[in-house]
Chain A
Amino acid sequence: MKAKIVVMPKKAVLDPQGKTVQNALAHMGYTGIGAVHVGKYLEIELAGADKEAARRQIDEACHKILSNPVIEDYRFEIE
């Protein structure tokens, strides 16, 4: 199995990186570009076949270390 995790800055948190990418896209002539948010994507390879147990474990890991709940939200899927 594999966990695919996306970590994004919370809406209320300043995202200067996203803003800079947005400005760069506009400068390059791309039109209709709205707000850009830059986050992280992680893939974790998992041994075993118990999807529910894997889900619990990944959720805990996301909360404890893979994201910082003060500034980030996360979502994941197990495949």
Chain B
Amino acid sequence: MAIVSRGFSGRRSATDVKLPPGQYLTTDFPVLSAGPTPHISLDRWEFTIDDGSNVLKRWDWKSFRELPTETITVDIHCVTRWSKLGTSWEGVSLDVLLADLKTDLPYAMFRSYGDYTTNLPMKDVINKQAWVAFKFDGTDLAPEHGGPARLLVPHLYFWKSAKWVKGLTLMSQDKPGFWESLGYHIYGDPWLEQRYSGDQ
């Protein structure tokens, strides 16, 4: 039974902004990492879409940067409880990357340089819900924040926004990625507080 520490309240602060349950507002940008920061040179970088057997689409950095981009401002929510509001990113929408790709495979495993993976339903990455982002706050995305490019899926907990993303593998069934296989929720909606497997 924990004793209460007199006068301790932690980093939480009352705010009149509505945050998902259990979150606190931060003004800095914490760096969370499960491994060493990969350093990928742009002449080696590529983004591929495959279905487990065949590569369906591939971009190198040059062809990727020729795609139309968007600048978006979104709130992000990390499962470690910090939320950062009004973050500005520039990236290529998954709608653009998936355009004229005919598939009925309903799930995707996003893959990163290093060994990180995260799974998402395809319905959550289309229709302006996901981007491959390469700029944060107007400047090139720093390596510790996922640069050269990271996935950005702001409507779900930020562990789904895989840093150093290098592609996705289409799947017929949902399979858990790096954190989803170790107790984190398979979907991760912060507004339903779906942090851990077994939540709602």
B partners with A: no
Instruction: Please list the residues of chain A having a beta carbon within 8 angstroms of any beta carbon in chain B.
Output: none
